Amino acid sequence: MTQPALPHRPASFLQAFLRSEALGGYVLMAAALVALIVANSPAAPAYFDVLGAKLGFELGPVVLKETVLHWINDGLMAVFFLLVGLEIKREVLDGQLRGVSRIVLPGVAAVGGMVMPALIYVLLNMGTPDTLRGWAIPAATDIAFALGILALLGSRVPTSLKIFLTALAILDDLGAIVIIALFYTSELQVFALAMAGALLACLFLMNRAGVLRLTPYLLVGAVLWYFVLKSGVHATLAGVALALTIPLRPRNQGKPDAHSPLHDLEHALHKPVALLIVPIFGFANAGVSFAGMGLASLAQPVPLGVALGLFLGKQLGVFGFAWLAIKSGMASLPRHSTFTQLYGVSLLCGIGFTMSLFIGALAFTDAATVDATKIGVLAGSLASAVIGFLLLRGSSAPTTQAAPDAVRQG
């Protein structure tokens, strides 16, 4: 049976995505700043007490009791990962990652941007084996923060570079998902894992059977989240698994106003995730008290490894690998851009806020090391944001280039 064509996405889809992510970046910055202020104010005890309070219920064999912080990191962030999974699937099948020629440059750069930060962290923590578990913390880019900085530069940055950064960050997220699944999974519970597998098979069968209504997928997905939570695999991966089963085929096949279930769900989730879920995560996880801390605190292996991994590792990995790909003829420089601008964007890839904090919370359990991770993430991300912004502002002039050329490629 011939599969229907994928629904055509208007050029404004990518533009709307970039605007939404940039706005989310501003809200996330504000949430992180408020968290730091609160954590260093007289309200700090109440802030940490609320995050540590337990909420939940028992209904027969179903027991769900977690702290507020765990509900945010395991529950709300599952919706964030659902959106990430939808974006990855869309970009691979119907976007900037469709086809080898489009995936080469951001793909090579993403690999470099994960390998080099991890290598720097490992080199700085070789003498403290207990902290090596945090090697993946500086490996991911925060797309909302990075696009928020690019949005401040307006037309000084070509649209092609914004597309490059978006594709790279999405591949970064994919790499982080694989890392979480492989290296940050606790002891497995066989029954719960088997139930999760059965539910995932059910979702794929629904897709193959042509079920195009979103409600059945979301209901089964909610149950899938519960069993993944109980299985020992991190619960947020249920969001990614659910995303991969959402159909990309149009609902009204053959009609000009055809709508894809995947596009509909992605559109519905963008603003709530960018403007509510991610800022709540940032507010709950960025709060760290600076009482008694000095420059010596940043020089410890964990914060130094994270900070240098983000600031140095990202720029070396992203720009270095991209430069090699371009010079070897594997890929070409993004349209209307220069190597200096590409280097500036590579600096912005060192903003690792959301995913770095998330992996840090998985890697370490003791409060002191988690706080050290936060300090490293904040320092590395801030340095990358400021220097990347200044470099791009100084090396780029406002342009009237035809941005839709780059957008139409999607």
pLDDT at 9: 52
Nearest Cα neighbor of 84 from 344, 358, 308 is: 358
Task: Name 57's bridge partners.
Answer: 64
Task: Summarize the confidence of residues 260-284 as an average pLDDT.
Answer: 90
Which residues contact residue 407 at a Cβ distance below 8 angstroms, ignoring those fewer than 6 apart? Answer: 11, 14, 15, 159, 163
248: exposed, middle or buried (C-beta count within 10 Å: 0-12, 13-18, 19+)? middle
Instruction: Please give the pLDDT value at position 12.
Output: 47
Encode pLDDT of 86-145 as tens digits: 988 888 887 767 777 778 999 999 999 999 999 999 999 998 888 999 999 999 888 778
Alpha-carbon distances of 99 from 94, 95, 102, 316, 326, rounded to whole Å: 9, 9, 6, 26, 17
Helices (H), 212-260: 214-231, 237-245
The per-residue pLDDT for range 321-378, each reduced to its tens digit, is: 999 999 999 999 988 889 999 999 999 999 988 889 889 988 998 888 998 999 999 9
Q: What was the pLDDT predicted at 209?
A: 93
Q: Is 248 helix (H, G, I), strand (E, B) or coil?
A: coil
Provide the mean pLDDT of the chain. Answer: 85
> Given the DSSP bridges, would you call strands 62-67 and 54-59 parallel, antiparallel or unpaired?
antiparallel
Percent of the chain with pLDDT over 70: 88
Model pLDDT for residues 377-387, shown as the tens digit of each residue = 999 999 999 99
* Per-residue pLDDT at 22: 67
pTM reported for the whole predicted model: 0.78
Among 122, 103, 125, residue whose Cα is nearest residue 114: 122
Rounded to 5 degrees, φ, ψ at 16 are -65, -40
- What is the band of 185 on the pLDDT scale with cuts at 50, 70, 90? confident
Structure tokens at 267: 């559109």
- Rounded-to-integer distance, Cα 101 and Cα 84, Å: 22
The two tokens of residue 161 are: 């570079």
Q: What percent of the chain has pLDDT above 90?
A: 47
> What pLDDT does residue 402 have?
41
The answer on pLDDT for 227 being more than 70 is: yes
Give the Cα separation of 44 and 50 in Å (integer).
10
Q: Among 68-72, 103-107, 315-319, 404-408, name the one with the lowest average pLDDT.
A: 404-408
